[in-house]
Structure 1
Amino acid sequence: MANSKFEYVKSFEVEDRLMPSTWIVIRIDGCHFHRFSEVHEFDKPNDEQALNLMNSCAVSVVEEFPDIVFSYGVSDEYSFVMKKTTKFYQRRASKILSLTVSLFSSAYVMKWKEFFPQKELKYPPYFDGRVVCYPSTEILRDYLAWRQVDCHINNQYNTCFWMLVKSGKSKNEAQDILKVEEITKLTDDGDPVKRYRKKVIVDHCDIIGPSFWNEHPDILGK
């Protein structure tokens, strides 16, 4: 109710605008996805359809929010990069985070049957998220490289672990062996503006070295 005596409660809302002229990264991560993958019998170490579902959900987010210029995903995690000049929802962290997480989560449920037509979704998945500002392109690239290096390490470990399990080792035995081996755009009211944008491409590539960024300088606005 506008101009009512109760409107004073708005004064308790915390200002959460993100730092201007910085890259905004929204990282979402599946909650308790180890259990989720077991209940839904995902293939180990990598379930191709589950990964394709994650990619499809990310595409939905990128297509809906044009100020996202790049995204990177691994397993049950996805990072979305918004351009430095974005005014998306006046750069309010709570709005940006809640919109991204809710859209991704709802897309996951809506698209489930497309990727798992023979499997029932036994309970709804959910994701947590965080928003971080990075002041320079160099630091942003280091962040993305960190996520890909982490992907390589985890994938190496998981591949070895599940190969040992499939060979007859128990999970505890496999863990002990690996320990020894030491494997290591907007309107005034904040609604998205529907406008033309380039086609969203899903790719598997190296983003640690300079080649990718040299081939795609437009992503970081160069």
Structure 2
Amino acid sequence: MAKSKFEYVRNFETEDYLLPNCWVVVRVDGKAFHKFSKKHDFHKPNDVRALELMNKAASVVMEEYKDILIAYGQSDEYSFVLRKDTNLYNRRRSKLMTYINSLFSSSYVYYWRDYFNDVKLKYPPSFDSRVVLYPSNENLRDYLSWRQADCHINNLYNTTFWALVLKGGLTNAEAEKRLCGTLSSDKNEILFSEFNTNYNNEPVMFKKGTILVRKKIKHPVTDKNRLVILPLHEDLIQDTFWTTHDEILNIKSCGHYSVPSSCDLPRLVMSQLHSFKEKKEDTN
């Protein structure tokens, strides 16, 4: 194909390759989601619909990019961890960041009505993203621990704040003043003594966020093993999580996960199992 005289402008483009042998984390974060959640009447202090929609959007990203070994989400953010030896898009920062962010954002809008079927999307949400490299397993674990600790701190504050506002009758400004300078123990005491709420009994997803991992589970109908993206609400700061799910840091094949008989499969998993059935029917 003949070249035009204008093609020289490509020389101004630069490639931004990431360092090799480092864990790659792409963190997606909602822009002005305080305003967005207020405009769409999110439940306070936590809206299960919103959190599950975030998990759905994140699972779509993980389904598309197999090099993502684990993802962690809380509130309006999600962190995607790509294997340290990934060569996806030749490790170009801008490609990884923009593709993951755009797929997450479009999926959030695409699946909105599945979770907010009675709420019309009033304007498109937007997310920023960044790429951070972590050279060691310890660095990566500390990063994820930081995000989970942040989830706990913010949720305890928000739970207490909205109890003071919605149940205690305080204004937002009065609630902020009441909580200024308080410790975790103070907030727990306010919840327990004034609102008969034991913070330890709050849903684990609110306190710990959501961890997405790849696991093989037995299909409840066919009894065949299926590889799914599984949402977990566990403590990932302690060693127990990383020992149980050692395939993540060791970059091994996905392990099996036995769903407790007393628990129903999460909606996110059921939708994946349903898609397996649809794909099979399409091929017949």
TM-score (norm 2): 0.72
The corresponding residue for 2:229 is 200
Q: Return the letter of the residue paired with 2:247.
A: D
The corresponding residue for 1:48 is 48
Q: Return the letter of the residue paired with 1:58.
A: A
The corresponding residue for 1:127 is 127
SS at match of 2:238: coil
- Looking at structure 2, the residues matched to 178 and 24 of structure 1 have their Cα atoms a distance apart, in angstroms, of 37
1:22-55 CA distance string (max 9 Å, x none): 1000000000000000000000000001000000
SS at match of 2:229: coil
Task: Verify: 1:104 aligned to 2:104, yes or no.
Answer: yes
1:8-34 CA distance string (max 9 Å, x none): 211111220111111000000000000
Shift of 1:182: 4.2
Which piece of structure 1 moves more, 175-184 or 142-151?
175-184
Q: Return the letter of the residue paired with 1:61.
A: V
- Looking at structure 2, the residues matched to 67 and 4 of structure 1 have their Cα atoms a distance apart, in angstroms, of 38
- Work out which structure has the larger RCO, using CA pairs closer than 8 Å and 6 or more positions apart in sequence: 1
The corresponding residue for 2:256 is none
Shift of 1:3: 3.2
SS at match of 1:198: strand
- Looking at structure 2, the residues matched to 132 and 79 of structure 1 have their Cα atoms a distance apart, in angstroms, of 10
Task: Verify: 1:221 aligned to 2:222, yes or no.
Answer: no
- Residue ranges of structure 1 left out of the alignment (5+ in a row): 185-196
Which of the two has higher C-alpha Rg? 2
SS at match of 1:52: helix
Please provide the CA RMSD for this pair: 1.4
Decide whether aligned partners of structure 1 residues 99 and 182 sit closer, same or farther in structure 2, where only a CA change above 3 A counts: same
The corresponding residue for 1:82 is 82
Shift of 1:173: 0.4
The corresponding residue for 2:36 is 36
Percent identity over the alignment?
54
Residues 110-149 of structure 1 aligned to structure 2 (within 5 Å): 110-149=110-149
Shift of 1:2: 5.8
Q: Return the letter of the residue paired with 2:174.
A: E
The corresponding residue for 1:95 is 95
The corresponding residue for 1:150 is 150
Q: Return the letter of the residue paired with 2:47.
A: D
SS at match of 1:14: coil
Aligned length: 210
Q: Return the letter of the residue paired with 1:202.
A: P
- Looking at structure 2, the residues matched to 30 and 59 of structure 1 have their Cα atoms a distance apart, in angstroms, of 17
